[in-house]
C-alpha cells in the first residue's frame, strides 16, 4: 500500500497543485486585507515594485508569480497553470518543473525590472510564458518527434498571438512575458529530460545555462542603474 501511494504521489501533478494552492491562499489574503486591486495591498503581499527592488528587496523578482490583481487575473492564470503546468510537470518531472516555473518567473520579472515601467506589477504570466518556452524548446531539441515538433510550433504561435495582444492592450507587462518565454526556453535546454540523455550534447546544455545566467545578471544590473 505504501509503495502504491508513493508511486501515485510521484505520478501526480503535486507541484502544480501546491503552487496553485499557494497562489489561491495569497489571493484570499489580498482580498481580506484590503482588496487585490489595491496597489498597497499588492506591494504588501510581494508584488514587484521597482523602487523597492532597487533598495535591496530582490525577492520581489520572484514573489509576484504568486500575487494577482483581480478575480479574472487569477482565474485565467490559475486555469492555465492547472492544465498546462500539469502537462509540463508530467513530461519533465517535478523538480525540473518547479525550478523552471520559478526561474522563468524570475527572468520575466527581471526583464520587466530592466526594461518596463515602474508601476506595481504581479501575476503568474511570466512563469506561464516560461512553460510556453519549454514546449517551443522541446520541439527544437526533439526535432525527430512529430508530436513535440508540432506542439512546439503550436505554442510558438500561441506565444506570438499573446505578445501581439499585449501590444494592443493596456496595463499588460509585455517585457515580463518575453523574459519568461526566453527563460523557459533556455532552462529546459539546460536540463536532460527524465531517463534520457541530452539530445543536443553537453555543449548545448552548458551554453544554455551560461546564457540564462548572463541575461539575468545583465538585466538585474540594468534595472539597478536605470
Q: Which residues are catalytic?
A: 125, 177
- Show Cβ contacts of residue 148 under 8 Å, excluding neighbours closer than 6 positions: 135, 138, 139, 141, 142
How far apart (Å, rounded) are the C-alpha atoms in residues 213 and 226?
20
How far apart (Å, rounded) are the C-alpha atoms in residues 184 and 196?
19
Question: Quick one: three-class SS letters along 54-107?
Answer: HCCCHHHHCHHHHCCCCHHHHHHHHHHHHHHHHHHHHHHCHHHHHHHHHHHHHH
Question: Could you give the dihedral angle defined by the CA atoms of residues 94, 183, 222 and 217, in that order, rounded to the nearest 10 degrees?
Answer: 60
Would you mind telling me the total number of residues written for the chain in this entry?
A: 226
Amino acid at each position: 500500500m505504501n509503495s502504491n501511494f508513493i508511486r501515485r504521489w510521484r505520478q501526480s501533478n503535486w507541484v502544480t497543485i501546491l503552487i496553485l494552492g499557494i497562489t489561491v491562499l495569497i489571493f484570499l489574503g489580498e482580498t481580506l486585507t484590503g482588496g487585490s486591486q489595491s496597489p498597497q495591498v499588492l506591494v504588501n503581499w510581494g508584488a514587484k515594485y521597482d523602487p523597492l527592488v532597487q533598495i535591496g528587496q530582490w525577492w520581489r523578482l520572484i514573489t509576484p508569480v504568486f500575487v494577482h490583481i483581480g478575480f479574472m487575473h487569477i482565474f485565467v492564470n490559475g486555469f492555465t497553470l492547472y492544465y498546462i503546468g500539469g502537462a509540463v510537470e508530467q513530461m519533465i518531472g517535478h523538480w525540473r518543473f518547479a525550478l523552471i516555473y520559478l526561474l522563468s518567473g524570475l527572468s520575466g520579472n527581471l526583464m520587466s525590472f530592466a526594461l518596463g515601467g515602474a508601476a506595481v506589477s504581479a501575476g503568474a504570466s511570466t512563469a506561464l510564458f516560461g512553460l510556453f518556452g519549454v514546449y517551443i524548446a522541446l520541439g527544437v531539441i526533439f526535432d525527430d518527434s512529430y508530436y513535440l515538433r508540432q506542439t512546439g510550433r503550436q505554442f510558438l504561435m500561441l506565444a506570438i498571438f499573446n505578445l501581439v495582444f499585449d501590444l494592443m492592450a493596456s496595463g499588460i507587462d509585455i517585457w515580463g512575458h518575453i523574459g519568461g518565454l526566453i527563460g523557459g526556453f533556455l532552462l529546459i535546454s539546460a536540463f536532460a529530460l527524465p531517463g534520457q540523455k541530452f539530445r543536443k550534447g553537453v555543449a548545448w546544455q552548458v551554453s544554455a545555462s551560461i546564457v540564462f545566467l548572463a541575461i539575468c545578471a545583465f538585466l538585474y544590473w540594468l534595472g539597478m542603474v536605470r
